[in-house]
Structure 1
Amino acid sequence: MGRVADKVALVTGGAKGLGLATAKRLFEEGATVVVTDLDEAEVAAAAAAIDPSGEKVVSYRQDVTDEAGWDSLTTTIVDRFGKLDVVVNNAGVAASRTVEEETLETWRWLMAVNLDAVFLGTKAAIAVMKDNGGGSIVNLSSIEGIIGDPGLAAYNASKGGVRIFSKSAALHCAKSGYGIRVNTVHPGFVWTPMVEAYAEEQDAELDDVTQALMAAHPIGRMGRPEEIANAVLYLASDESSFSTGSEIVVDGGYTAQ
């Protein structure tokens, strides 16, 4: 216990899935956690489920694609808690289409949430962390940011962008002496609402798609949200003080094949 004690963390997309699991793990290990999501009621309920007292987990509505909103949120967090030590850029969306099927409208929507928002969140985090002793920024990419998938053209592009952008930001922060580390986490398929929606979009029976996804991981199953949250916890903690510009792949062997 206490691996992130006394730290203040922000987790975007925290109402469900990986964001919710991450917020819970950070709270369990001693952090004060701010969770945000586009659905104000849903994220408020998520925060209350983690910490019914409302003292250590608080929620805000956030559109992660809104630059002014980022500046307002980080200012609010620092004013309320005195600092911001950890930012987890987790919010994301998916679209299951090939390059021929994809539309420019959906491409731009997906890039705005998956990539533009990571840029905005990283930039906003640096602005408040660099004069406050540093911090840790954890950006959620994916195995789809490392390997290609014919049916995930836009998603591949966005997650690959998160991967290499984070390395650039990490080098900038390191060379500037900010004490800010920037790393990425690359989950395999985890049974979250996003993956469930992906499975339902496929032209096959849901059970068959689920079995195929499980079989695609040499370990023989999909991941659990808490397994991804544990990787984020490590990067958020001081245990990873020598890690920056790195990537943690948590995929049951998917990319080792």
Structure 2
Amino acid sequence: MNLQTNQLFSLAGKTAVVTGGTGVLGQAMVKGLSAAGAAVVILGRRKDAADDIAKELRAARGKALGVGADVLQRDQLEAAYEQVIKEFGTVDILVNAAGGNMAGAVIAPDKNFFDLDIDAFQQVVDLNLLGTVLPSQVFSKDMAARRSGVVINIASMSSFRPITRVVGYSAAKAGIDNFTQWLAVEMAKKFGEGLRVNAISPGFFITEQNRTLLTNADGSYTARGQAAINQTPFARFGRPEELIGTLVWLCSDAAAFVTGVNVPVDGGFNAFCGV
């Protein structure tokens, strides 16, 4: 790799905020951004966990800050924004990695749609969709003022096609796909080509939330886990670090003419019809 290509993908001098940065996938993305040269802000509800990750990165000579905030609380996000600006001066990259699911918004095999817990459905939609919109409003203010920056939303395979049982999660992630396209156009039209918005859709990765859904205690696959593997041409789950290349590309000048896209990182899952 020559110097010119190194520079093209470099994030040196950039500040990246990662919501949900203490999760399995969030941590991998935080570390990948740091390795690419960015100063990183790990934002999560568990400030102690965010601080631990920041300490680890600083020990490796990176610039990092742990911040405690709930993505559904605007006042906490505003306070976090002020803290980031005070510490690093700018926000150049926002990765909206906060999200998740809950039992009440999932239709169990022995239940049906009429058993759906509407309160749980609303909470899952809020966490994933509103939890992407609110941080985007707060942290992209600096980008809009400077007419430069990158927003990366974390979508899902269920953004493309609804996945059985996870009705709340599927609806929310489909909304994130639409919001990504909408915001990409809005930002470009109002603030110019320097402000880009894209999404990444991970395929099936093992996280703390889905581990027991996809795998048994002995590491073998559950029926649902095996169904996911059967639909994935690579015949395995993704590894968290396999998100880093796509993330760094989208955040860097290498993707200067890319906006409004949703990139699958899925081992072929979305391309496979099952036959």
Q: What TM-score comes out, normalization by structure 2 length?
A: 0.86
- Give yes or no for contact 2:214–2:226 (8 Å, CA) kept in 1: no
Match of 2:209 in 1: 194
Given candidates 140, 145, 149, the residue that maps to 2:163 is 149
* Structure 2 residue matching 1:138: 3-state secondary structure: strand
Q: CA deviation at 1:244?
A: 0.8
Structure 2: which 5+ residue stretches go unaligned?
A: 1-5, 108-112
Are residues 1:130 and 2:137 paired?
Answer: no
Q: Residue 102 in 1 paired to residue 109 in 2?
A: no
Q: How many residues align?
A: 254
- Could you tell me the percent identity over the aligned residues? 28
* Counterpart Cα distance in 2 of 1:109 and 1:206: 31
Query: Which structure has the larger Rg over C-alpha atoms?
Result: 2
Report the equivalent of 1:238: 253
CA distance in 2, matches of 1:252, 1:106: 31
Q: Cα deviation per residue 1:61-108 (whole Å; 9 max; x = unaligned)?
A: 110101122222122211221111000000111136133332111112
Query: Is 1:221 aligned with 2:228?
Result: no
Gaps of 5+ in 1: none
Distance 1:102 1:53 in 2: 47
Q: Tell me the distance in 2 between the aligned counterparts of 1:48 and 1:130.
A: 30
What is residue 36 of structure 1 aligned with on the other side? 43
Matched residue, 2:153: 139
- Name the SS of the counterpart of 1:194 in structure 2: coil
Match runs of 1:25-64 below 5 Å: 25-52=32-59, 56-64=63-71
- Given that 1:16 and 1:46 are in contact with CA atoms closer than 8 Å, whether structure 2 keeps it comes out as no
Change in CA separation of 1:100 and 1:255 when aligned onto 2, cut-off 3 Å: farther
Q: Deviation of residue 150 (structure 1)?
A: 2.1
Check conservation: 1:13, 1:91, Cα contact below 8 A. Answer: yes
Q: Is the 8 A contact 1:102 1:154 kept in 2?
A: no
Q: For the residues of structure 2 that align with 1:157 and 1:41, how far apart are their CA atoms?
A: 32
Cα offset, 1:166, TM superposition:
1.2
> Contact 2:155–2:201 at 8 Å: present in 1 too?
yes
Q: 1:183 maps to which residue?
A: 198
Task: Give the secondary-structure state (helix, strand or coil) at the position aligned to 2:165.
Answer: coil
Confirm or deny: 8 A CA contact 2:68 2:80 kept in the other structure. no
Single out whichever of 19-28 and 230-239 deviates more from structure 2.
230-239
Q: Separation in 2 of the partners of 1:21 and 1:53? A: 15
- Give the Å deviation of 1:55: 5.7
Residue matched to 2:80 = 73
8 Å CA contact 1:115, 1:161 repeated in 2: yes
Take 2:207 and 2:260, find their aligned partners in 1: how far apart are those partners?
Answer: 27
Worse overlay, 108-117 or 54-63: 54-63
- Which amino acid is 1:155 matched to? Y
Q: 2:271 maps to what in 1?
A: 256
Relative distance call for 1:148 and 1:55 in structure 2 (3 A) is: closer
